[in-house]
Amino acid sequence: MYKTQQNKNIDMKKNLIFWIALTAVIVVTGTGCEKGDLLSNPNVASQTSVVPVSLILNHMTYSLYAGGGVVDSRPGSYNETPWDQLYIWQQYYVSNYPYYRGNNFYNWSVSATEYDLLKYAGLLGSQAYRQFSNYTNKYYGLAKFFQAYSLIWYTQRVGDIPAKQAGNPTAYPTPTYNSQHDVYQYALALLDSANTILGAYNALPTTKPGAAFDASGDIFGLTNLQWQKVVNTYRLRVLVSLSKRATDNADLNIPQQFATILANPSQYPVMTSNSDNMVFKYNAAFNQYPIFLHGWAPYNGYANICNTYLNLTTSTKDPRTFVTATPAPGQIKAGKLVGDFTAYVGADISTAIGTIQTNSANSGMYSFANYSRYYTSSSAANAEPFILIGYPELCFNIAEGLNRGWSTTGTAATWYTNGIKASLSNYGLSQGQTLTIGDVGGTTLGTVTVDINTFLTNVAYAGNNNAGLTQILQQKYVAFFNNSGWEAYYNWRRTGIPAFSQGGAGIGTPSNLIPRRFQYGSDEALANTTNNKAAIQSQYGGTDDISQNMWLVK
């Protein structure tokens, strides 16, 4: 399947398929949305069967990477992988030819769920207790993290969801919906519990915090301590995502939780460098880089870099411009040098795709993706790592909390600068480095010298004010280029930064505005009709409308 030791992937895949089929009825966690998965089957094992926790963990860690898109193809699922559709919607690149690279329309409707992950979180917890005879083992702690992650994943998309009754279809075949406030309160408590269990485990005299958590099951290859860091790093992401509710929901203790984590690093360890990043590793045999998996390798010319991203990098003389994009052909033809930041021009996603195609093909108006970096290796040998939860984001999240006055531990300026430097490091950039610049097909056009010092001067932190907050959010957005799933969209929805382009025909919605949410999955209305209708009525006036704001961002 999808292991860190990737030469063993195919054996794991065979084993996992067998065990998932064998243990379908053991999965006693789910919701009314997926009751059919839990019916008895005489051909599978009984509920007392033992399923190796490594096999369960293998499925779950890969599910984090796939985001519901690769593991299964349920309606409303989208791959959360580099160069996939969500990175068009987050305005990092745009299609200029729908036949090869899809459309730019924000034409989403129903959401997938992460109830698959929730089911397996319950299975991991029950099997961890059965196999270790306690509720303090590390797998049980990690099960709580996955439970919280699955609930946050879904509530961010739709609003209120079943949470506290979700996972016990025998007792609650039609679970009631919890308010989004209560879902977040519950998930944050789960994350705190996960940290407590993992922290106690890592403090045992027989535990080696630097040892692999599970070399055969964890596709990310993280250590015992690194998984605890992931839990707390993710918890800070969740707290910052609640910024609009930080002052009008005192019972959530958002600033207080944030401050407690920062003030107690031994109790709440977080990532300390890029070496702690949760990174998915590609290989040519089994886990190809998505450009090759989708057959896009010959089609760099049918996608342009978006101006929302390039306007930020070129205006600050950010060297990441040179590693992610090519100079626009028309600019080079007009005599500009490859080191001239004004030669890098992005396409506006709100423009009709036909116009983008004409401008790109006939006038050479826009930049393309760096062919040598992204289109030459199916194992992503030249590309930056694909991060799911990472240190650069952590730095910016801490900087944002400090800018908002949530803590006095550390300074926003330091964390902001650390985040920028960590992102630059992920691209392998260093001061004075020489980079080769190519065109859309990789033909060399010239070289440039990386000037990080000038860039850092141009983006020097403006202080704990609105200007400083804007800088933090802009640099977080740049660091999210082709990683971290939907976080760029969620940050924009919450803050309006950076200013996403909308209003034109290219957006493809009736209002030509970007949607604010997804509709509930179609299974919700079928399996849990009364509660689903009540949730839509209480939040959105009875209409499951993608243009309305949920509690999280009102």
The residue from 469, 487, 505 where one domain ends is: 505
pLDDT, average across residues 101-107: 95
Q: Is 90 exceeded by the pLDDT of residue 205? A: yes
Long-range contacts, stretch 213-216, CB < 8 angstroms, 24+ apart: 213/138, 213/142, 214/53, 214/54, 214/57, 215/4, 215/5, 216/3, 216/5, 216/8, 216/12, 216/54, 216/58
Query: CA geometry: angle at 41 spanning 40 and 44, to 5°?
Result: 120
Identify whether 492 is part of a domain: yes
Are residues 489 and 405 part of one domain?
yes
* pLDDT score for 3: 36
| pLDDT per residue as tens digits for the range 365-419 | 999 999 999 999 999 999 999 999 999 999 999 999 999 999 999 999 999 999 9
Q: What is the mean pLDDT of the chain?
A: 91
Q: At what angle do helices 487-495 and 224-241 cross, to 10 degrees?
A: 30
**Predicted confidence band at 184 (pLDDT cuts at 50, 70, 90)?**
very high
Whether the Cβ atoms of residue 232 and residue 258 lie closer than 8 Å to each other: no
* pLDDT score for 175: 94
> In the numeric block, which tokens belong to residue 553?
């961002």
Are residues 535 and 474 part of one domain?
no
Are residues 448 and 312 part of one domain?
yes
Are residues 522 and 479 part of one domain?
no
Identify whether 249 is part of a domain: no
Q: Is 80 exceeded by the pLDDT of residue 11? A: no
pLDDT, average across residues 293-301: 94
* pLDDT score for 46: 53
Identify whether 344 is part of a domain: yes
Are residues 455 and 366 part of one domain?
yes
DSSP-derived secondary structure for 447-461: EEE--HHHHHHHT--
Percent of the chain topping pLDDT 90: 84
Are residues 296 and 441 part of one domain?
yes
Are residues 521 and 500 part of one domain?
no
* pLDDT score for 75: 63
* pLDDT score for 400: 98
Are residues 375 and 446 part of one domain?
yes
Identify whether 543 is part of a domain: yes
> Structural domain tally of the chain?
2
* pLDDT score for 52: 96
The residue from 505, 524, 544 where one domain ends is: 505
pLDDT, average across residues 62-72: 65
Are residues 539 and 427 part of one domain?
no
* pLDDT score for 24: 38
**Predicted confidence band at 47 (pLDDT cuts at 50, 70, 90)?**
low
Are residues 471 and 429 part of one domain?
yes
Domain CATH for 327:
1.25.40.390
Q: Is 90 exceeded by the pLDDT of residue 339? A: yes
Identify whether 459 is part of a domain: yes
Are residues 534 and 493 part of one domain?
no
| pLDDT per residue as tens digits for the range 113-169 | 888 899 999 999 999 999 999 999 999 999 999 999 999 999 999 999 999 999 788
Q: Is 90 exceeded by the pLDDT of residue 187? A: yes
Identify whether 442 is part of a domain: yes
Q: Which residue segment(s) compose the domain that 522 sits in?
A: 515-553
**Greater model confidence, 391 or 19:** 391
> In the numeric block, which tokens belong to residue 217?
């099951």
Are residues 359 and 294 part of one domain?
yes
pLDDT, average across residues 459-469: 98
Identify whether 476 is part of a domain: yes
* pLDDT score for 20: 39
Closest CA to 515 of 68, 86, 93: 86
Residue 320 CA to residue 265 CA, distance in Å, equals 32
For β-strands 444-449 and 303-305, DSSP reports them as unpaired
Identify whether 244 is part of a domain: no
Alpha-carbon separation of residue 549 from 265, 388, 515 (angstroms) = 35, 26, 9
* pLDDT score for 170: 83
